[in-house]
A and B are shown apart, each in its own frame.
Chain A
Amino acid sequence: MPTAEEKFVDAACWNCAAPLSHAQLFCTGCGKVQPAPDGADYFEVFQLPRKLTIDTAALERQFYHLSRKLHPDIYARASEREQEWSLRNASLLNDAYRTLKEPIARTEYLLRLEGVPIEEEGRQAGARQNTSRVPEDLLEEVFELNMQLEEMRMTRKSGDDDPALREELVRVKQQFEAQLGETDNSLQQLWQQWDEAAPASADSVKQRMVALLDRRRYIRNLVRDVNETLDA
């Protein structure tokens, strides 16, 4: 897909006629809000390249800066179409910030932009069920855990508690939480690979990110299940 710089758009500000580049939400000349651009992606909104390592402090500063230019409050006395544009652009800005700010959301978004079909965290109906495949190296532990969870649920149902089992479950949960920490580290490494990658290895990095996200999602759901059983 062509990058932001490569798309030549024959656009100019409706107010002062200064030239506009693609995905420009307001005119840098006169400050007036522009009609919502077609198909601007979130990286373009922040004028960032499609790289996964982002300076979140700088992102926040940019977000505040852009908000001051686009928020509907600023256009409360402007024409109706400017109000409409500011509403759409501000929501685009907010959607972009929300997505890019959070590491997993950012990764998933990039993968989607790159054409990888990916189910987002919690957005699928029925996200309750752990429908992702069990990571191979965890098969045994997961099997064991599920048995223990079932046992605990039965105990709790009859109004009892099993302190030894509880302690064991807490220990296992902590192990899995440590695993989560590991996946986060691995993700950072994959980010670096993506950011530096040559187009040839792009596909392989993408595949590995997808697998990593799947694994991460699976473990998170496990931890959630343990918490729920313990708190019940």
Chain B
Amino acid sequence: MTEERVIGIDLGTTNSLVAFMYNERPVVIPGEDGVNLVPSVVALDVQTDPRARPTVVVGNGARKSLISSPGRAVYSVKRLMGRGVEDVQDELKLFPFRLAENVQPGEVLRIRLGEMEFTPSEISAYILRQLKRNAERYFGGSVSKAVITVPAYFNDAQRQATKDAGRMAGLDVLRLVNEPTAAALAYGLDREKEGIVAVYDLGGGTFDISILKLQDGIFEVVATNGDTHLGGDDIDNLLIAIAIEDIRGDLGVDVRGSAEAIQAIRKALIEAKIELSSANNSRLEVALPGGHLYRREIARDQFEELIQPILERTIRPVRQALKDSGFAPEQIQEVVLVGGSTRIPAVRQVVDDLFQLSARGKKPHTELNPDEVVALGAAVQANILAGGSKATEDMLLLDVTPLSLGIEALGGVVAKIIDRNSTIPASATEHFTTGVDGQTNVAIHVVQGERELAKDCRSLARFDLKGIPPMSAGLPRIEVKFLIDANGILHVSALEQRSGKQAEIEVKPTYGLTDEQVETMILESFDYAEEDFHVRQLIEARNEAETILAAVEKAPQHAAWQQLSEQERAEIAKLSGELSVVKQGDDLPAIRQATEALDHATRRFAELMMDQAVSSAIQGETMQSASTKLGEGPTAPHEIAPAEFN
């Protein structure tokens, strides 16, 4: 029985990957260029033909655009998912792309690339579509189901944005898996381990720490914590800021306004940063626009001192997670390192100190490539959801929600209804009533976070419960059930108990899209998608063919037809016949060629028709008014389209 293929996708801040379980082992699927990592960079190509739609380029091909046409490329879009304009002000300064002009607080972001606008989910959808295609190429067949990973500390809006992206890319997202948990799965596969494991995941944009209990194939997350705004990008941005100051001092040049300069500096700094993981020194050399050359030597200890404040930001979440788990650092038996940034020796030192590893004669696990391990884990989970195989038959993931869920109560205070680190799916039931006689709507503001006041927590959504039967104030008994599903996403249902009526719930997601909006984007995205660009071109070519064939069919009715020679008419008939056949196929060049040929063969006819139109039109007209009429009439020659016949 053929199993439907389910792929595992790591949609990373810096790089994305797709993987699949093959012969009891997870394997990363390479792209067309043979490379496993697809840079999470999306760019809008410049088109020479203004009429043609711009194509979207993803991955390595898009990276060049970062420097050559920075206003048309976006990277690290994961940092913008599920966020509002007020959250991203700082990093916008260093991003080469801009937001759309009129984005309001509380709205979903819109990014401007060239002449078009995209939400972060749409950009991520392009990346996902690329990965989907890579998988389809690999299998030689279609793929529609996937497991996508998200940072464990992602809140509801960020998770929903990821799910939306999957939908826009044509994927049925079976599950969102937390990245540290996925990494644990990848490691747990051949280890059959029992024990307490910590996963320290420092990626390009996000930091997660998860403490898990492994037993009999069950991976139970006990506690998780993190910072969804902490990663390698922050290290880069710090270095870029320093470099900009340096350049101003050394060369007297202020490059802050130049996106090209900043991107060139960024590229060089990243290369240096990577080199410093294995070498003690690195040399920076950046050719700045305007002919200047910026040169700098960086020593590893200098670098480590500079980034120490960033690394120290990982300490508090780790300590909190340990506290919540009830385990002391010494009780952690294994530590797994995930994410490219964990290659930095200074990071390994922080981890070693936090968990007392070398003091206990232990080392962290890095056997699996820290860039690939999350995708491999996603493939394992994909396998479990697809029905499992021998390797995964006893495996089950029990994950948790990372943030407490609460409702804003009177006075702006938060009433917690589901605690953080509760195993999911999890639910809570609350009761509400009305404050005013005849009130038919009740508004609920749901937030996520640990703070006492709603304004200090993350706004998740406002739910309007509608259709409550009008009664005296305080009489209705509205039971609201909050359910956090296995993806960590909230669902709400409400029932007015006295009348037994299901209350209608209107969800207004903060920083998110409504279902209708996502649907539109799935349809709209077909206009711009590369693969569908081809389909569109085919459709356009067929339309053109049909137009000219319809005109040729009516041609014999026109007086000018008589003026054609026998040979010419035969030629037109032959080419029409050929075009009629070819246009039914998929051969785009052939259709275009046959259309050209027929157009060419009917050119003289068109001219004859034109002459006749002119003679009949200018009867009683001056040359000027006739030429004006000609300019507007349906028989006026069109520069681009073939002559249109009546």
Residues of A within 8 A of B (CB): 64, 67-68, 71-74, 76-77, 87-88, 90-92, 94-95, 97-98, 122-126, 128
Contacts and interface: CB of A to CB of B under 8 A. Distances in A.
Given A71-B396, A122-B416, A123-B415, A76 B174 contact: yes
A45 B231 CA distance: 43
A125 B427 contact: no
B417 interface: yes
Given A64-B216, A87-B425, A125-B410, A72 B486 contact: yes
A94 B424 contact: yes
Contacts of B174: 76
Contacts of A71: 396, 398, 486
Residue among A90, A91, A94 having the largest count of chain B Cβ atoms under 10 Å: A91
B486 A128 contact: no
Contacts of B386: 76-77
B426 interface: yes
Contact of B415 (A91, A97, A124): A124
Nearest to B215: A64
Contacts of A90: 425, 486
Contact of B175 (A64, A76, A88, A97): A76
A71 B398 CA distance: 8
Contacts of A67: 218, 396, 398
A123 B417 contact: yes
Contacts of A74: 396
B410 A87 contact: no
B383 to A, nearest CB: 11
A73 B397 contact: yes
Interface string B420-435: 0011111110000000
Contact of B425 (A76, A94, A125): A94
17 contacts: A64-B215, A64-B218, A67-B396, A71-B398, A74-B396, A87-B486, A90-B425, A90-B486, A91-B483, A94-B424, A94-B425, A94-B426, A95-B426, A122-B416, A123-B417, A125-B413, A126-B409
B387 interface: yes
B11 interface: no
Given A73-B396, A90-B486, A95-B427, 12 more contacts: A67-B218, A67-B398, A68-B218, A72-B425, A73-B397, A88-B425, A91-B426, A91-B427, A91-B483, A94-B423, A97-B423, A126-B413
Interface in B215-234: 215-216, 218
Interface in B375-389: 381, 384-387
Residue in B215, B386, B414, B416 whose Cβ sees the most chain A Cβ within 10 Å = B416
Given A92-B427, A94-B426, A97-B423, A73 B417 contact: no
B452 interface: yes
Nearest to A122: B416
A73 B415 contact: no
Interface string B474-496: 00000000011110000000000
Given A67-B396, A126-B413, A98 B387 contact: no
A91 B416 CA distance: 17
Contacts of B428: 95
Instruction: Give 9 closest A-B pairs by Cβ, nearest first.
Output: A91-B425, A125-B409, A125-B415, A76-B385, A91-B427, A94-B423, A72-B486, A125-B413, A90-B425
B398 A128 contact: no
A125 B407 CA distance: 9
Contacts of A97: 423
Nearest to B213: A60
A107 to B, nearest CB: 17
Nearest to A92: B427
Contact of B387 (A77, A87, A124, A128): A77
Nearest to A98: B422
Nearest to B425: A91
A125 B414 contact: yes
Choose among B385, B398, B425 the residue with the greatest number of A CB atoms under 10 Å from its CB.
B425
A94 to B, nearest CB: 4
A67 B4 CA distance: 25
A91 to B, nearest CB: 4
A68 B409 CA distance: 37
Interface in B1-44: 4
A87 B483 contact: yes
A128 B385 CA distance: 43
Contact of A123 (B4, B384, B411, B416): B416
Given A76-B385, A123-B417, A94 B483 contact: no
A147 B388 CA distance: 63
B452 A128 contact: yes
A73 B413 CA distance: 36
Contacts of B411: 125-126
Contacts of A73: 175, 381, 384-385, 396-397, 486
B143 to A, nearest CB: 16
Interface string B560-599: 0000000000000000000000000000000000000000
Interface string B510-549: 0000000000000000000000000000000000000000
A104 to B, nearest CB: 13
Contacts of B397: 73
A72 B425 CA distance: 8
A123 B409 CA distance: 12
B423 A98 contact: yes
A73 B414 CA distance: 32
Nearest to A123: B416
A68 B410 contact: no
Given A64-B215, A94-B424, A98-B422, A72 B485 contact: yes
A6 B410 CA distance: 43
A98 B420 CA distance: 12
Contacts of A125: 409-411, 413-415
A64 B394 CA distance: 11
Given A90-B425, A95-B427, A125-B410, A77 B385 contact: yes
